[in-house]
Structure 1
Amino acid sequence: MNRFFKLFIFIALAISAANCKKSDDDVVTVPIRDRGEVYLEDKIKIEEYLKNNYIKVAGEEITLDSITDKNTQVSIWDQQQYELKSIKLKNDEWKPVLVNNTTFKYAKLIDDVEYTLYYLVINEGGGEKAITIDSTYTAYKAYNLKNKVFDQNRTGMWSTYPTVPNGLMPGVAPEMISGYRQATTLMKAASQISQNPDGTFNYENAGRIIAFLPSGLGYFAGANLGKSYECAIFDITLISKLSRDHDRDGIPSIYEDLNGNGDYFDDDTDGDGVPNFMDVDDDADGFLTRDEITYEVIENGVTVKKLYEFSAIPFCPGGSVKKHLDNSCH
């Protein structure tokens, strides 16, 4: 099992493993700590790491190691070859919750902490930028703060977000943790890509960053790194990205961020708990969104159904929003 499955899966596995102990006295559970308190500790650990370790890049090979000679080794914090950047991020983990056998809503992980993510851009990349709900093909190498590798896949793998219930989107790949997924938006995919028969890629000028994740954007109470509440370092290469139509309603998901804030979960026109990019009937008027953006034309004497391009979807007469978002017409 890939180690980037969602945090709640790892917690479930940890609890399950603990329950297999010989007696109740032997059961080990991980206490859930305050996220803000843990982050303050993590930030200190990460900044100390950046000041006491160096990076060496030789072609495709990257070395992270502790400083033993201050005359020849410059800390990641002070080196100038790769600018050390930071960005403020919040945990964006959502998961589907089945309401009954046929309907679901999305629940957000309760986490109000604003995290500082430090990162180094090794290469910006020459292709398109990804968004957090794209499917991405990435290669990675993962370290703890002692520079020990705990996972890697240098060939690459597809991942997608979020988990799609009810089989709406075919070919669902595993999810990445929040910090990893958001880090992929800080670079661009490769400029030249060709796919091999085995599904891997040959590529040129792919984006590559080193991201230093506090545990709140990673595994938190999970124990992937050997123990809970551990920070992680990810060497990530973004090879390819694929835009999705998650609900297969004919509107690419990228166009369903109506307020343009980059959060695709807070756009829920009908207020049913399912965001528009996952909702097959955005305005709950009883007509599928796909049907509402379909029109008919005559080609060679035959009636053909087509989908409007997003920009061409009409408004209701006298309305101010596109017809699939207005339940007063259909």
Structure 2
Amino acid sequence: MTKIKYLFALILFAAIVYACDDNLNGFTNPYENVDYEALAISDNDTIVTFLESHYYNESLDSLQLIDANQTSLLADSRLEIIETEQNSINYKLYVFVTEEGVTTPPKGNPTEMDSIFVNRKGIQLLNNSLDTDPFDEADETWWSLANTFGISGSASTPIRGWTKGFPILKPGENITNNGPLTFQNTGKGFIFIPSGLAYPSINYQLGGLDNALFDQIIVFKVELLDFVKDTDHDNDGIPSIEEDADGDGDPTNDYSDSSQPNLPDYLNPNY
């Protein structure tokens, strides 16, 4: 009798699930028809249009629409263009450097594996103008440019656009003297990030929360205060940038520990 009741309950459950939806138990992916390659091209066109029609106003420290003979952002020598690939799609990231950053002695630039200390303000690029209402803004925050996978005690991991963009900048000097943290001669700029390097909906999980920033072009106004040179994430005495077992220049794809196949070497103190 118990088996009959169990079988009946199982059939009833299956019928309810089927009645709700024959596609993934009632959940559908609202982004399943997004053409991410086409979106990458469209995003780049939108960013280039903005760069062609705006310039950097030194006195206001802001990006303004060209109204005379100002040099466009696209033609300005301070603009750096970074080509990269994500999810098998080619992207261009644009970094406009307003102040490069100076330290004594010279500290150089962070790598994609270092931890950084920054000020930031995130805004959307809409209709060839920058939104006046930031979606994100904070000062003096630590981030790990290398993915830390949410490991307790580690700095948070930013979007891919940061990982590729921040190494263009240099930090400033910490001149704190028995007071609040104070920096001078910091690296500053604007990072123009296509949606595929920001918050792409390709990462959407069925049943998860939607994100208003999915597939949106964003711009971060940033200031690199400092960074940890040769960051050692697992404290094994080897800088994370050097934990590159296969020698391909990318430490994020090295997994030498067969007992922990999902833990990259730079987060594994045993390797």
Is the structural similarity TM-score above 0.5?
yes
CA contact (8 A) 2:82 2:164 kept: no
Change (3 A) 1:159 1:64: same
Q: State yes or no: 1:185 paired with 2:167.
A: yes
| CA deviation profile, 1:145-186 (whole Å, cap 9, x unmatched) | 22114235363211124225664xx3x232211102221111
Which residue does 1:201 correspond to in 2?
Answer: 181
| Cα distance in 1, alignment partners of residues 82 and 110 from structure 2 | 16
Shift of 1:238: 0.7
In the other structure, the counterpart of 1:268 is 255
Residue identity matched to 2:236: D
CA contact (8 A) 1:196 1:202 kept: no
Distance, in Å, in 1 between the alignment partners of 2:241 and 2:159 is 20
Q: What RMSD, in angstroms, separates the aligned Cα atoms of the two structures?
A: 2.8
Correspondence 1:157 to 2:158: no
The residue aligned with 1:214 is 194
The secondary structure found in structure 1 opposite 2:237 is: coil
Name the counterpart of 2:95: 119
Q: Percent sequence identity over matched residues?
A: 26
Question: Could you tell me which residue of structure 1 aligns to residue 130 of structure 2?
Answer: 147
Match of 1:303 in 2: none
2:82 corresponds to: 87
Distance 2:37 2:156 in 1: 28
Measured at CA, do residues 245 and 73 of structure 1 come closer, stay the same or move farther in structure 2, by a change above 3 Å?
closer
Return closer, same or farther for 1:260/1:204 CA change in 2, 3 Å cut-off: farther
SS at match of 1:141: strand
1:193-238 Cα shifts (integer Å, max 9, x gaps): 43776xx6311111112111110000122776x4532111111111
More RCO (CA 8 Å, sep 6+): 2
For 1:278 and 1:54, the matched residues in 2 are separated by 42
Which amino acid letter does the alignment assign opposite residue 31 of structure 1?
Answer: Y
Cα separation, 1, equivalents of 2:139 and 2:151: 30
Q: 2:218 aligns with which of 224, 229, 232?
A: 232
The whole-number CA distance in structure 1 between the counterparts of 2:78 and 2:116 is 25
Other-structure match for 2:240: 253
TM superposition shift of 1:116: 1.0
**Partner Cα separation in structure 1 for residue 119 and residue 178 of structure 2:** 15
**Counterparts of 1:29 and 1:206 in 2: how far apart (Å)?**
43
Cα 1:174–1:195 shift into 2, 3 Å: farther
Map 1:287-306 to 2 at 5 A: none
C-alpha spacing 1:227/1:187, structure 2 compared with 1 (3 Å)? closer
Give ranges in structure 2 of 5+ residues lacking alignment.
1-26, 205-209
Distance 1:241 1:166, change over 3 A: closer
Q: TM-score, normalised by structure 2?
A: 0.71
Contact residue 86 and residue 116 of structure 1 kept, 8 A: yes
| Kept in 2: contact 1:130–1:241 (CA 8 A) | yes
Residue type matched to 1:142 in 2? G
Deviation, 1:135, is 1.5
Query: 1:227, 1:46 → 2: CA distance?
Result: 16
Aligned length: 225
Query: Tell me, which stretches of 5 or more residues in structure 1 are unaligned?
Result: 1-26, 92-110, 283-330
Q: CA deviation at 1:258?
A: 4.1
